[in-house]
Structure 1
Amino acid sequence: MYIGFDYGTANCSVASMDGNDPTLHLLEKDSFYIPSTLAAPTRDSVAEHLFRHRDLAPLDADGEQRLRRAIAANREEDIDLQFDDVMFGQAALDLYLSDPHEVYYVKSPKSFLGAMGLREAQLGFFEDLVCAMMANIKSQAEKSAQQIITDAVIGRPVNFQGRGGEASNIQAETILRRAATRAGFRNIEFQFEPVAAGLEYEASLTEDKTVLVVDIGGGTTDCSLIKMGPSWAGKADRNDSLIAHTGQRIGGNDLDIHMTFKQLMHPFGFGSRTLSGLEMPLTQFWNPIAINDVSAQAKFFAKENLKDLKHLHKEAAEPEKLARLLSVYHDTLGYSLVKKAEEAKIALSDSQVFTAQLKVLSELIDVDIRLDEMIEAIEVPKSKMVELVSEAVTLGGTKPDVIFMTGGSARSPILRSAVEQVLPNIPLVSGNYFGSVTAGLARWAKVCFE
């Protein structure tokens, strides 16, 4: 059996073909979508979980050495790892939110795969993370389909997050391929996510059109200008139909992070001063919430930064605020703060004000966020997304007949309005915001594997 596999930054989903129509498969309880999250007792638990409970051995000697170190570290901490100790999706998020201090939690590992300067051990660890998530998803999908899955077309952005250009893309795709191979997939192909979304839209066309696909995912925004329609449907060679691609590491997570920074970090000392009148350093409020930036996270949660935070607390004119920032450090609260901003972003699509409740130390802090404040907070990432739309049309040298928007953040009326302002008088349509890429990947899998 073959599938289309959307290994997303925010959520994952898979689909197979039922005749000429894609069918999504249940991955978590009654949901077709599973959040891209993992929780475990320790960082070292992931490698042991794969070997001990899923019978998935490392691919090489480096992996075997990493596994031995992980098992030894768990034994030192007297951890007897059980199958259910490693959790995925909403269950992982619920566990983290219930007690963040006692859980090793990862959200959106896809965001880190293209980061340059990673050591071999770090690359191997990301392979373990992705493999664990893929193995869980493969197992759940096989239960849903009641068939063994052997082949997959995996979606990928035009450009992965990372400053290495094509080197970042090669590194990220290599990690995904190694992880998928280890998880049990036999034949693996990749397809650009916006192209996949376009293939799903193409199935509804009765005449050829030039379509601009705007895919705003959790980690990236990708735009593809594509010739589509009955003349192209089902063709294995689509090179002549692909007019232009643009893509950047800017997505829904970035909207949430900017929202968190501008609207939720003031109770933690953002904008406050020391007793001598100096402003608090901005990086101490950005780094803990930059959940898609390996370097920023490493700097904030480094042991040496604890000394700096304690010094700022001692020198603060409002020490109670810096005490909360220390709690962000000790309890790794960055993910939960960004989650609150995401909730606010969604709520403000339908209202003018939202009250975010932040639980820190023994306090429950209410922060009111107005719609105009949110619009101002996300201006920088929004502008970058819109630039990608314009760039795709410029590179293609032709205007589209229609704009097809997909991805979770494409639901935002603010982003949709921004795209309409750049390309006025062109019809803007949408399908399944979360499922279009997955369905298109399944359609391409049919072309690849039948």
Structure 2
Amino acid sequence: MTSISCGIDFGTSNSSIAIANQGNVHLVQVEGSSTTTPSAMFFLRKGNVPFYGRAAVNMFLERNPGRFMRSLKRVLGTPVMRQGTMVNGELMRFNEIIISFLQNLKDKADAEAGQEIENVVMGRPVHFVDNDSAADVRAEAELKEIAKQLGFKNIDFQFEPIAAAFAHEVNMLGEKLAIVVDLGGGTSDFTVIRLSNKYIHKADRASDILANTGIRVGGNDFDKDLSLAAIMPELGYRTTYGAKNLEVPLYHYFDLSEWSKVNFLYTTKIISQTKQILFEAHDKTRYKRLLQVLEQETGHTLLAATEETKIALTSQSEYDAPFDFLEDGLTTKVTREQFDEAIFQKIEKISNSAMQCLADAGVQKEDIDLVILTGGSTEVPLIQSEFKKLFPNAALADENKLSSVGLGLAYDSQNKFGRI
């Protein structure tokens, strides 16, 4: 008997769910007509009511009272996962938060399937946590337990870049040796794999997968680097204070540049310390903006403006980043050159990891027929130029950047659970 199954791409920045039902594989519309949704939640203070995806982002940007969260995937495998966090005055465990987010996706899929789906392939990065195998095992175990809590009976995992390859394989003629470049919000993963539409019904693809590598570097890190290079100086980053010309504390700026850490800054202690330093600050105008962000809890608004700037610089050589929420008419000009310089070292790490994948596979750059780019961060011009330079003779496929992993996971679920 054929069985309905699904694939869930729980991403650092965006998420999706796709259904496989008797050979038909498709993405589910999870928010309006969109098949992807931001991996974001907003808990309205009154009643702790949760909102998801774009609705969560809009609730936050409209300055509704409550708690905003993004990059939830990054807590998997870390001590923070067990510690939990305060949400509108209540301690909430991160597994509860992630279950709530993923349940919202599953409910949409169950409604479309007309039944509760019990079979799932969950996507996972090659490494949840770099250079920590115990944390990596713990992260997958945590995600598996979450899947059980969602009601799934049969659960498997697949590396996200391999899933992206499966999604591209369906329409492929002949056999190609491909490298998948999957750049998400939190990780960059690579797979060298043999692809052919003749292989799509093979339940075991181990012999076709030549190597996997991955690093915990992604689009959120690009945001952080851009923020520190071009945005945080407007809030007094690296300015000085006091008679000894001491540099102002930097860790506030680092935390203010990461989606997953912003909420930990809004404490009485940190605000009090910032006020004390402001009294002695040599650039009071800029440093006062930092205090304003902390007091008004607009760190996520600042990060959203940074992300908007990053996206604008994928198609423009310069951009006037607006910061009206700080001061009327305040803008700062940011150039593509600044962005490239800020992320250069991260690009180098990504490139090195891709080359390590080739070495592990025992193939040369010239052997690669196809480069599959997936994940929103592959839009970044410096990424595009780097991989064109690395593989000048290979064809480049970059369609369905945000949805190919979800689709590929559903194809994989069909092969694994299609006859349960």
Fold-level similarity (TM above 0.5): yes
Q: 1:428 Cα deviation (Å)?
A: 1.9
The answer (yes or no) to whether the contact 2:324–2:331 under 8 Å persists in 1 is no
> Which residue of 1 is the match for residue 236 of structure 2?
269
Pairwise CA RMSD: 2.2
Q: 1:328 Cα deviation (Å)?
A: 2.1
> Which residue of 2 is the match for residue 315 of structure 1?
280
Q: Is the aligned partner of 1:137 residue 2:105?
A: yes
Name the % identity: 30
SS of 1:440's equivalent in the other structure is helix
> Which residue of 2 is the match for residue 32 of structure 1?
35
In the alignment, residue 35 of structure 1 is paired with which amino acid? P
More displaced stretch, 88-97 vs 267-276: 267-276
- Please, which runs of 5 or more residues in structure 1 have no aligned partner? 43-78
Q: 1:22 Cα deviation (Å)?
A: 2.2
Q: Is the aligned partner of 1:258 residue 2:186?
A: no
> Which residue of 2 is the match for residue 187 of structure 1?
154
> Which residue of 1 is the match for residue 60 of structure 2?
96
CA distance in 2, matches of 1:40, 1:153: 28
SS of 1:26's equivalent in the other structure is coil
Alignment of 1:47-446 (within 5 A): 80=47, 85-99=49-63, 102-116=65-79, 119=82, 121=84, 125-160=93-128, 162-163=129-130, 165-276=132-243, 277-292=245-260, 298=264, 300-361=265-326, 363-399=328-364, 400-446=368-414
The answer (yes or no) to whether the contact 1:211–1:402 under 8 Å persists in 2 is yes
119 and 130 in structure 1: CA distance in 2 versus 1, 3 angstrom threshold: closer
303 and 170 in structure 1: CA distance in 2 versus 1, 3 angstrom threshold: farther
- Please, which runs of 5 or more residues in structure 2 have no aligned partner? 86-90
Q: 1:363 Cα deviation (Å)?
A: 3.8
Q: 1:368 Cα deviation (Å)?
A: 1.2
Q: Any runs of at least 4 consecutive aligned residues in structure 1 with deviations exceeding 6 A, and if so which?
A: none
CA distance in 2, matches of 1:415, 1:199: 22
Q: 1:166 Cα deviation (Å)?
A: 1.6
Q: TM-score scaled to structure 1, two decimals?
A: 0.84
CA distance in 1, matches of 2:148, 2:228: 39
CA distance in 2, matches of 1:168, 1:112: 11
167 and 415 in structure 1: CA distance in 2 versus 1, 3 angstrom threshold: same
Matched residue pairs, number?
Answer: 406
The answer (yes or no) to whether the contact 1:202–1:228 under 8 Å persists in 2 is yes
CA distance in 2, matches of 1:12, 1:279: 40
In the alignment, residue 106 of structure 1 is paired with which amino acid? M
The answer (yes or no) to whether the contact 1:25–1:145 under 8 Å persists in 2 is no
Q: 1:17 Cα deviation (Å)?
A: 2.6
CA distance in 1, matches of 2:115, 2:37: 20
111 and 359 in structure 1: CA distance in 2 versus 1, 3 angstrom threshold: farther
Q: 1:189 Cα deviation (Å)?
A: 1.1
Match of 1:23 among 22, 26, 47: 26
Q: Is the aligned partner of 1:8 residue 2:11?
A: yes
The answer (yes or no) to whether the contact 1:358–1:365 under 8 Å persists in 2 is yes
